[in-house]
Amino acid sequence: MRTVSLLLFCAAIGSAATAPRQSPPFSILRPGLPPLSLDSYRGKVVALVFISTTCPHCQDFTRQLVPMAKDYTPRGVQFLECAVDPGAQVAVPGFIQQFQPPFPVGYNNQAAVDAYVQRSIIDTRPFYVPHLVFLDRNGVIQGDYAGESDFVKNIAENTRAELDRLLSVGAKPAKKTANRKR
C-alpha cells in the first residue's frame, strides 16, 4: 500500500511540474559579468535551455538556435542558455567563443537548476540535457521539456512551434505614444 501511495505521489509531482506555473526566481551566472535574472525578461517570451558545455546534443542545438534567434528575437523572444555541467564556470567562455551564440550563455549549479524545474532531491534519474523551459510574457512557465522527452526528439521544429504558439497567445498591442503639443 505504501508503495502505491508513493508512486501516486511521485506521479502527481511529475504531472504538476508540467502545468503552467509562475516562474520562481532564477539567475544565470556569467564569468566576469553580473548575473541575469529571469525577472528582467518580463514582457518577452523566454526560451531557457539548460545545457552541458560538453554534450554533443547541446552543442548541436546551440548551432540550431543561432539562426532561430535571428528569426525570433525581433518578434520578442529572448533565448538563454544555462550550463549545468561540473566545471561550467570555466567552460562557458570557451563554449561562447566556439559557438558564437547571439544570446546570453551562463551557468548555475545543479541544485539551483533542480529547484527551478521542481526536480525532487530524491529523484535519482539523470538530468538529461538539453532541457527546455518556455516562459510567456508574464513570466509563467508554459512548457518544461526534459532532455529525454519526445519534444527533444525533433527539438528545432518543436521549439519553433512552441515559440509561435506563445507569440500568438495574448500578443501585446503596440505601445501607444501620446501626441503632445509643444
For 145-159, the pLDDT digits (tens) are: 999 999 999 999 999
Report the sign of the C-alpha dihedral through residues 154, 135, 121, 6, in that order.
negative
Question: pTM of the entire structure?
Answer: 0.84
Q: Which three cell numbers stand for residue 13?
A: 509531482
For 97-110, the pLDDT digits (tens) are: 999 999 999 999 99
Domain ranges of the chain: 22-168
Mean pLDDT of the chain: 87
Contacts of 103 (CB under 8 A, 6+ apart): 65, 69, 73, 78, 79, 80, 81
Long-range contacts at 56-61 (CB < 8 A, ≥ 24 apart): 57/129, 57/130, 57/147, 57/152, 58/129, 58/130, 59/99, 61/130, 61/155, 61/156
- Secondary structure letter of residue 151 according to DSSP: G
What is the separation, in whole angstroms, between the first and last Cα of the chain?
A: 77
| pLDDT the model gives residue 19 | 85
Among candidate residues 143, 126, 103, 119, the one with its CA nearest the CA of residue 23: 143
Q: Which fold has domain 22-168?
A: Glutaredoxin (3.40.30)
For 84-95, the pLDDT digits (tens) are: 999 999 999 999
Contacts of 69 (CB under 8 A, 6+ apart): 77, 79, 101, 102, 103
| Mean pLDDT, residues 81-85 | 98
pLDDT higher than threshold 80 for residue 4: no
Q: Which three cell numbers stand for residue 48?
A: 531557457
pLDDT higher than threshold 90 for residue 173: no
